[in-house]
Structure 1
Amino acid sequence: MSDANKKELDCNTSINQCECESHPIHPNVSIGKIITKVPVVLAELTLQTNVDALIKFPEPVLEIKDIKKHVKLIQCRLLLPTNKLFVKGFIRKNIQYASPSKEIDKSSQNTVASDLHSLTVDVPFHCVTEIKHFLTRPVMPEMNKRNEFDFFVSKPLPSGFPEKDEFQSNDLSQFHQESTQHYNELPFCELISSKIIEWDEAIDRSPLPNCAPLGEGYFTKLEEKMVLDLSLKVLQNQQVRISSATNDECQVECNDHCE
């Protein structure tokens, strides 16, 4: 087949999307008292931290148009065997703003020409809080152990000592140790929700040079203060005993037909 015929065949090929049927399958369920390993909620809490930051713009800013914020949590660590929770992250801010543009048109007493730009910054935050109430107690870590042991040795003494005496001690040419390591389950977090209350203020605002409408100005530095509320779940994988009494094929969907 020539290359031209192959290209023509490829161009004429089409795929028809069609629906396919599916049927539920009843799962095999173990009966009795079963021990399983699942994430267990240790605590659910809301914490509040304060953030103060200074943002510098790469160009003059006429006004802020919009600010979109997202919380990025990079660390949430329960420091066992204490109840201190260390939280660290960033607030991603995308700031859309208007910047005066002389290239578009010169300012007059009634108009200011500007174009739209955006600046994305990560504002860091961190705090340490105490979990005062556990829904489920965490499984505390088992400590590693190392124990040294020696063997008794008895040797004859060199000349200069009585013949009946012996050198008795441990063997310094050998080292014996028993060590135990425990691989504990590390608690982890899930971010449920976040709430940010912020206050932004330009700290170096100046009037526009030359001719400009009344009250118009520009700035390059923005001071912001934020109160951040985070809702978190602290979890840990634990072994839990559950009870399974039946493997009845009557599902919730067909309760009406299984009476």
Structure 2
Amino acid sequence: MKKNTSCSSHSKCPPGLSCDKAKAKRVDCEAEGYYPYHHLDVPVILSEVHLQALVEADIHLPTPAKEVKFIKKNISLKQCEAFKSPYGHKVKVFITGVVHKNVVYVEACSGNLKDYHVDIPFTCSDAVDVWHYVDQYPSQKSSLTAEFKYLDKSNHGSDRCRDGAYTKEYFNEPIECKLVYSDIFELDLYKNHDRFGRFTKITEKMDVNLWFKLLQTQQTNGYYPYKKGSKPADATESSDNYEPTIIDRINDQRR
């Protein structure tokens, strides 16, 4: 067995470590195609979200400032992860963002402008309502939950040399975030003044607002992708004629 002796880190999900291989003795294949009633595989907007984060941070200037001329700022998302909650029509959203600030100030009544860049990271999470169906199906990868045992030759117990199992994996489309708009309302408090009236600390109190879409790629025919027995009361007439998806066919085969 190979050992992982590397100390390097990965910012993205690395490939799985290669292990030993077993040779397949025989492979027989049979495939069948089905008509794709839901002929589009497109991003579906699950919800349009307004997220508000109240952020407080201290900025320590590299040199004393007499006056701040202006502060230029912008927001970027470093992480936006979402998954369907098992309770109600909600999705759990986890946000990690960064407020990048460019502080321009002067140290005295005359002289050059000083330019100081600083990043303020923030993290928050909440549950939000979704208005379209979320495709999310559980997998069962362990043979312990669906194991088949066989009688031994004496018919008095199980055969220790014969086992069977049923496992399944659904490869769900992830829920993606698409940032559309952001704004910041802030209060700046100047602190740590010296005897000349200059300050080295700015306490920021920010009301950060993010507007983004939650999207998931789904198979659809252009109408709302309802599932059997789950059509909301306000559904349009165009969604009454239900046609099977590939997931429905998988579930029908398993019955």
**Residues 164-203 of structure 1 correspond to what in structure 2 (within 5 A)?**
168-173=156-161, 175-203=163-191
Cα deviation code 1:184-207 (max 9, x no counterpart)? 011111111011001111111123
Task: Quickly say closer, same or farther: Cα 1:99–1:141, change in 2 above 3 A.
Answer: farther
Cα deviation code 1:211-232 (max 9, x no counterpart)? xxxxxx2111111100011111
Q: Which residue of 76, 85, 100 maps to 1:92?
A: 100
Q: What displacement does 1:174 show?
A: 5.1
Matched, 1:227 2:211: no
Letter in 2 for 1:151: Y
Normalised by the length of structure 2, the TM-score is 0.64
Q: What displacement does 1:239 show?
A: 0.7
Contact 2:65/2:198 (<8 A) preserved:
yes
Contact 2:150/2:163 (<8 A) preserved:
no
The residue aligned with 1:152 is 151
Q: Which runs of 5+ in 2 are unaligned?
A: 1-35, 224-255
Cα deviation code 1:47-86 (max 9, x no counterpart)? 2110000111121112111111111112222222342222
The residue aligned with 2:134 is 138
Q: What displacement does 1:143 show?
A: 3.0
Query: How large is the Cα RMSD of the aligned pairs?
Result: 2.3
Q: Which runs of 5+ in 1 are unaligned?
A: 1-31, 101-111, 155-165, 209-216, 244-259
> Counting strand residues as a fraction of each chain, which structure ranks higher?
1
Normalised by the length of structure 1, the TM-score is 0.63
Cα deviation code 1:107-164 (max 9, x no counterpart)? xxxxx333222111111122222223x331212333335422222213xxxxxxxxxx
Equivalent pairs counted in the alignment come to: 181
Q: Which residue of 75, 78, 83 maps to 1:71?
A: 75
Runs ≥4 residues deviating over 4 A = none
The residue aligned with 2:124 is 127
Structure 2 CA distance for aligned equivalents of residues 235 and 116 of structure 1: 44
Structure 1 CA distance for aligned equivalents of residues 59 and 80 of structure 2: 26
